């Protein structure tokens, strides 16, 4: 059994989503991922992102990974992504868009708008292990780019 002080610090993840049931599924997938995490959630609105920025300025811990569940055809989702990337308080965080896996344009649009990565959102409970693996893979690649 590893020593507690030898374990890596948990990754602080911010989950930005407007569907409580989907949020629960994502939290389950995150718990299955091969990384230690602390998950925070906010509603998917521009005012919530602005509020997050203010709280970080006030001393709250900035997330290391932001999971933004959105449809990039939606102007509000694009604005949230843009705002997150322009905010110096959260711009250092890896930002992964959870989008429609059936639309190949979503991934390229996410990249153009400043996302670090793109993962197809889970459609069924059986998709959760795939999402957990994808989250582990994305975090590993983010860590590799940072070093």
12, HSE (Cβ side, Cα atoms, 13 Å): 10
Lowest mean pLDDT among 4-13, 88-97, 103-112, 119-128: 4-13
Percent of the chain exceeding pLDDT 90 equals 0
Domain that holds residue 61: 10-146
> Which CATH number goes with the domain that contains 110?
3.40.50.2300
Tokens linked to 47: 């005012």
102-118 confidence digits (pLDDT tens)? 777 888 888 888 888 88
Residue 126 phi/psi, 5° resolution?
Answer: -70, -15
Residues in the chain: 147
25-42 confidence digits (pLDDT tens)? 788 888 887 778 888 877
Residue with more model confidence, 21 or 82: 82
Written as one string, the DSSP assignment of 8-55 is PPPEEEEEE-S-HHHHHHHHHHHHHSSS-EEEEEE-SSHHHHHHHHHH
Has residue 5 been placed in a domain? no
Contact assessment for residue 66 and residue 94, using Cβ atoms and an 8 Å cutoff: yes
């Amino acid at each position: 059994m590893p020593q507690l002080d030898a374990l890596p610090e948990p990754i602080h993840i911010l989950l930005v989503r407007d569907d409580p049931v989907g949020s629960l599924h994502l939290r389950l997938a995150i718990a299955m991922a091969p990384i230690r995490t602390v998950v925070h959630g906010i509603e998917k609105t521009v005012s919530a992102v602005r509020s997050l920025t203010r709280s970080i300025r006030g001393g709250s811990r900035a997330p290391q990974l932001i999971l933004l569940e959105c449809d990039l055809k939606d102007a509000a989702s694009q604005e949230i992504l843009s705002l997150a990337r322009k905010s110096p308080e959260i711009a250092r965080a890896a930002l992964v868009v959870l989008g429609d896996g059936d639309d190949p344009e979503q991934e390229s649009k996410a990249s153009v708008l400043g996302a670090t990565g793109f993962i197809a959102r889970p459609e069924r409970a059986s998709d959760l292990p795939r999402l957990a693996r994808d989250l582990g893979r994305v975090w590993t690649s983010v860590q590799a780019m940072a070093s």
